[in-house]
Amino acid sequence: MFKVEKLDRSFGAKVFDIALTDIQEDEMQELYQLWLEHALLIFPGQNLNNEEQVKFAKRFGNLEFDLSPISNVRTDGTVRDPYDDDIVKSLRGNMEWHHDSTYMPIQAKGAVFTAHIVPKKGGETGWADCRASYEALDQEMKDKIDELSAFHSYEFSQKDRFGHKSKEESEFNSYGFDVDPKPLRPLVKTHPETGVKCLTIGRHVHRIPGMSDMEAQKLAKDLEEFTTGNKFWTYHHSWESGDAVIWDNRCLMHQACPWDLTEPRTMYHARLEGNAITEAASNYL
Ligand SMILES: [Fe+2]
For 138, counting Cβ atoms within 10 Å of its Cβ (0-12 exposed, 13-18 middle, 19+ buried), the class is exposed
Cα 223 to averaged position of ligand 1 atoms, centre (Å): 18
Q: How far is the CA of 144 from the centre of ligand 1 (A)?
A: 28
Domain count, the chain: 1
Task: Read off the CATH number of the domain in which 261 is found.
Answer: 3.60.130.10
Query: How many A from CA of 134 to the centre of ligand 1?
Result: 21
26 CA to centre of ligand 1 in angstroms: 30
Residue 94 CA, ligand 1 centroid: distance in Å = 6
pLDDT digits (tens, 9 = 90+) for 226-275: 999 999 999 999 999 999 999 999 999 999 999 999 999 999 999 999 99
pLDDT tens-place string over residues 179-231? 999 999 999 999 999 999 999 999 999 999 999 999 999 999 999 999 999 99
CA of 174 to the centre of ligand 1 (A): 14
Contact criterion met (CB below 8 Å) for 128 and 226? no
In the prediction, which pLDDT does 42 show? 99
Distance 108 CA to ligand 1 centre (A): 10
Q: Which residues contact 256 (CB under 8 A, 6 or more apart)?
A: 70, 91, 94, 95, 123, 124, 125, 126
pLDDT at 180: 97
From 197, 179, 180, select the one nearest 188 (Cα to Cα). 197
pLDDT surpasses 90 at 1: no
Q: For residue 198, how far is its CA from the centre of ligand 1 (angstroms)?
A: 18
Categorize the per-residue pLDDT at 99 as very low, low, confident or very high, splitting at 50, 70 and 90.
Answer: very high
Condensed to tens digits (0 to 9), the pLDDT of residues 145-185 reads: 999 999 999 999 999 999 999 888 999 988 999 999 999 99
In the reported structure, the alpha carbon of residue 125 is separated from the centroid of ligand 1 by a whole-number distance in angstroms of 10
Report how far ligand 1's centroid is from the alpha carbon of 211 (Å): 27
Tell me the C-alpha distance between 5 and 66, whole Å: 29
212/210 Cα distance (integer angstroms)? 7
Domain residues for the domain of 141 are 3-284
Taking the centre of ligand 1 as the mean of its atom positions, its distance from the CA of residue 1, in whole angstroms, is 31
pLDDT, the chain, mean:
97
Distance 99 CA to ligand 1 centre (A): 6
pLDDT of residue 137: 98
Q: How far is the CA of 82 from the centre of ligand 1 (A)?
A: 19
Rounded Cα distance between 78 and 63, Å, is 30
Q: How far is the CA of 44 from the centre of ligand 1 (A)?
A: 20
Q: pLDDT digits over 225-237, tens only?
A: 999 999 999 999 9
Q: Which of 261, 25, 284, 275 is nearest to 149 (CA)?
A: 284
pLDDT > 70: what percent of the chain?
A: 100
Q: How far is the CA of 140 from the centre of ligand 1 (A)?
A: 31
Residue 242: what residue type? G
Q: For 53-87, how does the pLDDT look when each residue is reduced to its tens digit (9 = 90+)?
A: 999 999 999 999 999 999 999 999 999 999 999 99
How much is the pTM?
0.98
Cα 98 to middle of ligand 1, angstroms:
6
The backbone torsions φ and ψ at residue 51, rounded to the nearest 5 degrees and listed phi first, read: -65, -40
Cross-strand pairs, 124: none
Residue of 228, 31, 255, 195 whose CA lies nearest to 129: 228
Ligand 1 centre distance from Cα of residue 77 (Å): 23
Ligand 1 centroid to residue 2 C-alpha, Å: 28
Note whether 211 and 219 are within 8 A (CB): yes
